Structure 1
Amino acid sequence: MTIKVIIFDFDGTIADTLNAIVSITNRLAAQFGHKPISQEELVQIKNLSSRQIIKQSGISIFKFPLLVGKVKAELNSEIQTIKPFLGIKEALIEVKSEVDRVGMLSSNSKENIVAFLEMNGLQDLFDFIYTGATLFGKSKVIKELLKQEKFKPEESVYVGDETRDIEAARRSRTKAIAVSWGFNSKEVLAAQNPDFLVHQPSELVEVIKSLQQAVISK
């Protein structure tokens, strides 16, 4: 079946927000009772799954949603410093010509995403933006999104940079494309068996074109 919609994660997939988020999280360490993350520890954390990271952080499960909300709020004041990954704009332009709709699904705030897209000339490349997904609740939102947009799971692809993105795609029965330029390392992403693992934005275009051509050749 033809791929009709591609849904992108935001942080670590489109926007290079990692350093800003780590900086903000470290500033909030005393308030939320977790240890600041050093650059050496960050390298190690990249090799952990999303669930392992939360467990290792030592942050109370009750405080975690509050921390995430605070990080999103503080990121708003730094959004003008955030840049898209090199080559992602060109890839988005090509991908958009291959499918009916291109969208965004993120646990970041819509305000942050819209501001980022406008500052970087990307606002016309997305047909819809869904936000507010909980840390491990993306699959539910993907299902609701597809129902609202009237797309079938087998017509859909979700693109993300973390193990939880692969998990969300699998649970919602969409194809999962994992990108290795974001938060999780290519090794830990590969261990989660995404449908595709890409290492540069141009490969996204190749994957989508190959999926479309596979359908045509049947």
Structure 2
Amino acid sequence: MKAIIFDFDGTLANTLPICYVAFQSVFKEFDNKDLSSEDIRSMFGPSETGIIIENLKNTNKENAIELYYEKYLEYHEQLVKPNNDITEMIGYLKEKDIKTGIVTGKARRSLDISLKALHMDNLFEIIITGDDVIHPKPHPEGVVKALSLLEVERNDSMFIGESDADIEAGLKANVTTAGVKWLPDYQPSEFSVKPNYIFDRVTDLKRHLEKGVHSEL
């Protein structure tokens, strides 16, 4: 394996709680709507700005987007905590000269906030955000673009994520896929789209790379 590309939300950081708070603030302030976590999650796919543009009834989209980022920054330290296992795992990949990247539907602005707050802003060779693609996941555009920038072949690469959209994007890009259940709030009981592997713990990835001991589906 020469490159491992990760989704971000739910894969490298447990950011779902802060996304809920920020979106709930926006829709309450501008549309006077109280949205549940399920309501918000059903909108996921586009970047945060895309979600607001597509779903907010109020025409003042620009100020709504600014409020989203204000709340995202305001509550980040309180709601999103660093994960030592993930930091150590990225360090292990670097020791093994395995290239790393991120392909996420998040907008660049919120991703930068999270990476800086979690001290992860210098850990990845390439980053593809929702702002960098025309077609969001499950379209493979982001993964294919990452492979090109990393200059690696598809059969030497793995894409790791926690959602069906991640797995579908990886499969369409013809890379090995791994579905993860290693962070709270992002644990589907089953993947509708079957990944090549499932990792329940962060250490499972290291074990897979070192010994090839894994559960292939």
Partner of 1:15: 13
Q: Which moved more, 1:3-12 or 1:102-111?
A: 102-111
1:185 has 2:187 as partner: yes
Asked if 2 retains the 8 angstrom alpha-carbon contact of 1:79 and 1:112, the reply is no
In the aligned structure 1, how far is the partner of 2:52 from the partner of 2:93? 38
1:194 has 2:190 as partner: no
Cα distance per residue 1:31-85 (max 9 Å; x no partner): 46865115xx59xx9xxxx8xx349xxxx99714979x93863424434442233
Deviation at residue 164 of structure 1 after TM alignment: 0.6
Amino acid at match of 2:153: K
Give percent identity, aligned residues only. Answer: 20
1:100 has 2:98 as partner: yes
Alignment equivalent of 2:114, drawn from 113, 116, 119: 116
Alignment equivalent of 1:78, drawn from 75, 78, 86: 75
Asked if 1 retains the 8 angstrom alpha-carbon contact of 2:138 and 2:166, the reply is no
Amino acid at match of 1:140: E
| Higher relative contact order (Cα pairs below 8 Å, separated by 6+ residues) | 1
Unaligned runs of 5+ residues in structure 1 are none
Deviation at residue 183 of structure 1 after TM alignment: 4.7
Asked if 2 retains the 8 angstrom alpha-carbon contact of 1:166 and 1:178, the reply is yes
Matches within 5 A, 1:1-218: 3-30=1-28, 31=30, 36-37=35-36, 53-54=42-43, 63-64=54-55, 70=65, 73-74=69-70, 75-81=72-78, 82-132=80-130, 133=133, 134-136=135-137, 138-180=139-181, 181=183, 183-189=185-191, 191-210=192-211
In the aligned structure 2, how far is the partner of 1:161 from the partner of 1:10? 9
Structure 1 residues 116 and 54: CA distance shift in structure 2, 3 A: closer
In the aligned structure 2, how far is the partner of 1:209 from the partner of 1:64? 45
Asked if 2 retains the 8 angstrom alpha-carbon contact of 1:32 and 1:63, the reply is no
Unaligned runs of 5+ residues in structure 2 are 45-50
Deviation at residue 28 of structure 1 after TM alignment: 2.9
In the aligned structure 1, how far is the partner of 2:77 from the partner of 2:33? 27
Deviation at residue 174 of structure 1 after TM alignment: 0.9
Secondary structure at the aligned position of 1:125 is classed as coil
Deviation at residue 119 of structure 1 after TM alignment: 3.2
In the aligned structure 1, how far is the partner of 2:139 from the partner of 2:184? 18
How many correspondences in the alignment? 195
